[in-house]
Structure 1
Amino acid sequence: MKWTSIIAIYALFWVLAAFLVMPFGVRTADELGVEKVPGQAPSAPANFNPRRIMVRATVLSVVLFGLYYANYVNHWITIEDLDIAPLLGV
């Protein structure tokens, strides 16, 4: 696998991981008991911390990419394993 492919696939895993971890640990102003800013949506996060999300996304993406790369090298699951056409009678 080329290093450019590794970077591109890792970036995809990172973005996926960022969206997966974003809602965890975020609380609204009502849940934290702080005053809302005028015009603020009731569901807006009051304790949004992008650094925490980046760290969590990086850790998760390293794990997921590590599993992906180990599968790529060891051929644990191949495209033939994912072929469902014989099961459908096609």
Structure 2
Amino acid sequence: MSITAIFVVFAVVWFLLLLLNLQGNRPSQAESGDVVEGTPSSAPAEFHPKRVAFRTTIYSVLVTIVLVYVIKSGWITLDMFDFYNIIEK
């Protein structure tokens, strides 16, 4: 597995976890009772993008390490997904 492939896996995992992390358990403005004029009441009350990006990066590094290990160890191979015998051996 090349460095480029590892970077691509990391990028995909990072954006996936970012989207999941943005949906985290954050109180809305309506729940906190402080709705800023001009925003929907369902908007988050406090949003810290640096904290979200840092947390996402830490989780992504861990998930990428596990994925690269699984791929390099041979637990998952391309042959496992060749349902129509397209890949010649």
The TM-score range, normalised by the shorter chain, is: 0.7 to 0.9
Question: How far does the alpha carbon of each residue in 1:66-85 deviate from its partner, in whole angstroms, 9 at most, with x for none?
Answer: 11100121011223334556
Question: How far does the alpha carbon of each residue in 1:36-79 deviate from its partner, in whole angstroms, 9 at most, with x for none?
Answer: 22221121111111122112211221121111100121011223
SS in 2 for 1:80: helix
- The TM-score with structure 1 as length reference comes to 0.77
Aligned length: 85
1:39 is aligned to 38
Gaps of 5+ in 1: 86-90
Runs of 4+ in 1 over 4 A off after TM superposition: none
Gaps of 5+ in 2: 85-89
Q: Percent identity?
A: 31
1:64 is aligned to 63
The offset of 1:5, in angstroms, is 2.1
1:27 is aligned to 27
